Amino acid sequence: MCCLTGMPLLETVYIIALCRWAWKRCLHTGSEDSKTWGTATFEDFEPVPRMCRLVLAVYEEDLDNPVWAPPGGYQIDIRSVVKRVGNLETSGMAPPYLIYVDHNAKDIILAFRGLSMVRESDYAVLLDNKLGQEKFEGGFVHHGLLKSALCVFEKEAETLRELVGSHPDYNLTFTGHSLGSGVAAMLALKVAGNRDLLGNIPRKQIRCYAIAPARCVSLNLAVRSADIINSVILQDDFMPRTATPLEDMFKCVFCLPCLLCFSCVGDTFTPEDKLLRDPRRLYVPGRLYHIVERKLCRYGRLPPHVKTAVPVDRRFEHVVISCNATTDHSIVCIERESQKALDIMMEERMMNAPIVQKMERQISDKSDHDREHSDAMQRVVSLSVPHASGQLYGTFT
């Protein structure tokens, strides 16, 4: 039987299905990934612009005359810089980093720089990975990023131990951008699983802010670490959505659009339950914070607002076809938009409830986060994800 155009029916159905898929893909925007999530609070999101500024400080040649210091933004006190480590000191094993003590925020911070496009050593870390090659803390992780994190930990454990001992009520925070975010996440997992190595620091005082992170941990680790790791993603950023192994992506850099297209098609037509049950598939770690500033059929940028959740399904699975997919990966853009979002939260916070109600809301939000985290872990277990059963221990201790 033929259709009116003379084309066989089966081919017509295929073409219609392909057109429908292409239409949906072209209309898929970054804001859809988090449309069912809750709204982040000021208390949750307050550290993010500060962490972005500290990451930018790693790029600075002279902290006394910073190039990247945003006017009116968070300023670095050079007297509180404990150590700066550059490329020569790391010998290419890890990106440059900075150790900083923020006495106002009661925070000990280890901040990593992102990927340098001109340094082969950074690519070597990123490309040193094979799916299923590295098991860590009951799940699978990115081999190169873990190796880099362990190298930094071996070098700086004594310094961190002394700082934690000198400031027992301070938080220990790891942060980084892009490549550095993966190293920071691996360090957070290492310290959380071996707290005795840093003087038995309480788990609740360990935090990580992974900014524009790569997918570096398996699903059970991604969800289980949501009480300590926070991933910050700006709108359409391609990196957290790219499930294609990074070593394949960068080796095929001249065919990157084709590679992403084939990857996109494959993920679209593969049942999500099958993807979730793959123990080697890597994900963005921890609780997700999604900064949304653009919507479909709206011209220009909207005032940024932040959505948050600990998702299991639809955990940034699809690459967004957008001209902003690479610019949204920039640490400068993320710092600017996160500060705008925080300023908006501050205005709403000042106008709304009195102090007592604000405190009650903070307690309620903490309870909601714990319940959301627990529900996500139960969902992972219900999917029969390997290594997930029995991993609920110690999550909130």
Q: Examine residue 391 and state whether it is found in any structural domain, yes or no.
A: no
192's CB contacts (< 8 A; 6+ apart) are 203, 206, 225, 228
Q: Examine residue 340 and state whether it is found in any structural domain, yes or no.
A: yes
Q: Examine residue 11 and state whether it is found in any structural domain, yes or no.
A: no
Tell me the per-residue pLDDT of 234-259, one tens digit each, with 9 for 90 and over. Answer: 998 988 988 755 554 554 444 545 55
Tell me the per-residue pLDDT of 8-59, one tens digit each, with 9 for 90 and over. Answer: 777 776 676 666 655 555 556 777 888 889 999 999 999 999 999 999 999 9
Q: Which two tokens stand for residue 100?
A: 């900083």
Return the CATH number at 103: 3.40.50.1820
Q: Find where tokens 């909130």 sit.
A: 396
Is the pLDDT confidence value at 395 over 60? no
171's CB contacts (< 8 A; 6+ apart) are 105, 106, 107, 108, 205, 206, 207
Tell me the per-residue pLDDT of 137-158, one tens digit each, with 9 for 90 and over. Answer: 888 898 889 999 999 999 999 9
CA nearest to 109, candidates 177, 45, 192, 50: 50
Domain tally, the chain = 1
Q: Examine residue 55 and state whether it is found in any structural domain, yes or no.
A: yes
CA nearest to 99, candidates 169, 158, 45: 158
Give dist(CA 211, CA 349) in Å, integer.
25
Single-letter residue type at 331: I
**Tell me, what's the pLDDT at 359?**
59
Q: Examine residue 6 and state whether it is found in any structural domain, yes or no.
A: no
Q: Provide the residue range defining the domain that includes 138.
A: 31-382
**Tell me, what's the pLDDT at 131?**
56
Q: Examine residue 396 and state whether it is found in any structural domain, yes or no.
A: no
Residue-averaged pLDDT of the chain: 81
Global confidence as pTM = 0.85
List the single range of 27-31, 86-90, 149-153, 340-344 with lowest mean pLDDT.
27-31
Q: Examine residue 50 and state whether it is found in any structural domain, yes or no.
A: yes
Q: Examine residue 43 and state whether it is found in any structural domain, yes or no.
A: yes
